[in-house]
Amino acid sequence: DGGITQSPKYLFRKEGQNVTLSCEQNLNHDAMYWYRQDPGQGLRLIYYSQIVNDFQKGDIAEGYSVSREKKESFPLTVTSAQKNPTAFYLCASSIRGASYNEQFFGPGTRLTVL
């Protein structure tokens, strides 16, 4: 079964700690994305990657970092510099480039900072 997995589903972190959210896809997609969603709000783009070993900042990249060492994996690190990290994080992937390709989403990770 092809798809996107995110782990963990729920994550709790103490203030001041870095935490890494996992995202893996087996859809053979070149492009991968990280979004943040706050309660009752839309999706805001954090980072995206169109190809291995390359990634670009989205609209709200401050306090986050990513890596893209493998096509299948695009982990997101929420650093202690992110002032308000409690949110729902969604990872997505798509075929690169064409405007007609939808994004496929993972189930999301709910991060709570205690």
Interacting residues with another protein (CB under 8 A): 33, 35, 40-43, 45, 48, 58, 88, 90, 92, 94, 97-105, 107-108, 110
CB 35 within 8 A of CB 44: yes
Among candidate residues 90, 92, 105, 71, the one with its CA nearest the CA of residue 21: 90
Rounded least distance, CB 63 to another protein, Å: 20
Query: Rg for the chain (alpha carbons), in Å?
Result: 13
Rounded least distance, CB 35 to another protein, Å: 8
> Closest CB to another protein among 25 and 94?
94
Sign of the Cα pseudo-torsion (89, 55, 101, 1, in order): negative
Rounded least distance, CB 46 to another protein, Å: 11
